[in-house]
Amino acid sequence: MTDAAYPTSPRSRARRYPDRATYDEAQVHAVLDAGLLAHVGYVIDGQPFVTPTAYWREGRRLYWHGSAASRMIRAQAEGLPVCVTVSHLDGLIAARSAFVHSIQYRSVMAFGRARRVEGLDAQRAALAALVDRLYPGRTGEVRPPTDNELKQTSIIEMEIEEAAAKVKSGGVARIEADDAWDAWSGVIPIATVVGERIADAVQSAGTPVSPSLGLYLEGARLDRVLSAAASGRVEV
């Protein structure tokens, strides 16, 4: 935990429920490191697009990748403003009044400019960072990308200029008018979890799992697996 915080401006500052928002770097990174899929927003000719994509973080930079031929990648190659949002749904809050129903969540909105990572060596390093971020040590287990494979893929990087995390936990808000009602109220927790591994029938039937996948145990929470992998821990 540090005292570092992201800069804010009217663009990133939370207006509604400012008590749920934080710009603290450690808390922003904790939400980012618990996720795998980001929703990247960008604008082409005034039209907003939101593309779901795998992402990863290094320091104050976010990365994602895609086909070199895709619309998103071509648009984002040269400094396009983007908003990268990552969310975790943690629970449903069922209340005794329609109005008090809510959800528990953690989210980050990060703002910056997208740029393409140039050069095969830089691309190679970035792709290795993605694979090892998800599966620690996996680049040592698998075939490295060829130059031709790297040329088919583009990596986008974004320096986080501003970011805000928003977290809502807790339970049912108490409203006096609800006391006279008797519907069950409380929290229904929601979690994203790892299922039972399915070995490739041709390549890996009956073979032991690679060490790099050791965190992905059946029943483990994905956010905890990803956080552990990001911080180099070997246990969830």
Site for a second copy in 46-105 (CB under 8 A): 46-52, 54, 66-67, 69-71, 81-85, 87, 89, 91-92, 94-99, 101, 103, 105
Does residue 28 belong to the site contacting a second copy (CB under 8 A)?
no
Query: What's the token pair of residue 65?
Result: 């990748």
Does residue 26 belong to the site contacting a second copy (CB under 8 A)?
no
What residues from 106 to 165 belong to the interface with a second copy (CB under 8 A)?
A: 107, 109, 111, 127-128, 131, 134-135, 138-139, 141-146, 149, 153
Q: Which of 3, 147, 182, 235 binds a second copy (CB under 8 A)?
A: 182
Q: Would you say 6 or 66 has its CB closer to a second copy?
A: 66
For 173-201, letters b (16+ CB in 10 Å) and e give: eeeeebeeeeeebebeeeebebeeeeeee
Does residue 232 belong to the site contacting a second copy (CB under 8 A)?
no
Say how many C-beta atoms besides its own lie within 10 A of residue 41's C-beta: 16
Does residue 213 belong to the site contacting a second copy (CB under 8 A)?
yes
Stretch of 18-26, 55-63, 192-200, 228-236 lying at the interface with a second copy (CB under 8 A): 192-200
- Reported as type and span, the H/E element at residue 206 is none
Q: Which of 4, 120, 125, 193 binds a second copy (CB under 8 A)?
A: 193
Q: Residues near 91 by Cβ (< 8 Å), separated by ≥ 6?
A: 103, 104, 169, 187, 188, 189, 190
- Reported as type and span, the H/E element at residue 215 is none
State whether residue 181 is helix, strand or coil. Answer: coil
Stretch of 20-28, 35-43, 56-64, 115-123 lying at the interface with a second copy (CB under 8 A): 35-43
Nearest-approach distance from CB 87 to a second copy, in angstroms? 4
Does residue 199 belong to the site contacting a second copy (CB under 8 A)?
yes
Q: Are 190 and 92 in contact (CB under 8 A)?
A: yes
Does residue 188 belong to the site contacting a second copy (CB under 8 A)?
yes
Q: Are 142 and 128 in contact (CB under 8 A)?
A: no
Nearest-approach distance from CB 231 to a second copy, in angstroms? 19
Q: Which of 8, 161, 187, 224 binds a second copy (CB under 8 A)?
A: 187
Q: Residues near 98 by Cβ (< 8 Å), separated by ≥ 6?
A: none
* Short-list 105, 93, 114, CA closest to 42: 114
Q: Which of 75, 112, 216, 229 binds a second copy (CB under 8 A)?
A: 216
